């Protein structure tokens, strides 16, 4: 099975179901992912604010931004890099 990252739709579904007090097993079944994937997602992308602890929790949009920021940049060469190579016109 190919590795696929969670998308914003799945992260929003996790957020909504966590707020509705749905179990992680039920969340995983609903979005079609393994429960360990959901547990890891919640652990990795949980929002914590030490000044305002009542805002702590899992937020789908914040989780997506965190995941996007931690994703490595593309390994394909940029157009600028290709244009700067001599004889590559």
Half-sphere exposure of 8 (CA within 13 A, CB side): 5
Q: What is the pLDDT of residue 80?
A: 64
- Indicate the pTM of the whole model: 0.73
Q: What is the pLDDT of residue 83?
A: 65
Q: Which two tokens stand for residue 73?
A: 């940049």
* Ramachandran class of 55: left when φ > 0, alpha when ψ lies in -120 to 50, beta otherwise: alpha
Give the residue extent of every domain in the chain: 8-68
The per-residue pLDDT string of the chain (89 residues; one tens digit each, 9 = 90 and over) reads 566 889 999 999 999 999 999 999 999 999 999 999 999 999 999 888 889 988 889 999 999 998 888 877 666 665 665 566 565 55
């Amino acid at each position: 099975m190919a590795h696929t990252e969670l998308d914003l739709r799945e992260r929003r579904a996790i957020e909504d179901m966590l707020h509705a007090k749905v179990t992680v097993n039920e969340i995983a079944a609903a979005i079609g992912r393994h429960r360990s994937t959901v547990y890891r997602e919640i652990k990795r992308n949980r929002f914590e604010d030490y000044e305002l602890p009542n805002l702590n929790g899992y937020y789908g949009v914040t989780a997506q931004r965190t995941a996007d920021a931690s994703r490595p940049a593309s390994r394909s060469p940029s157009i600028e890099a290709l244009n700067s190579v001599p004889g590559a016109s």
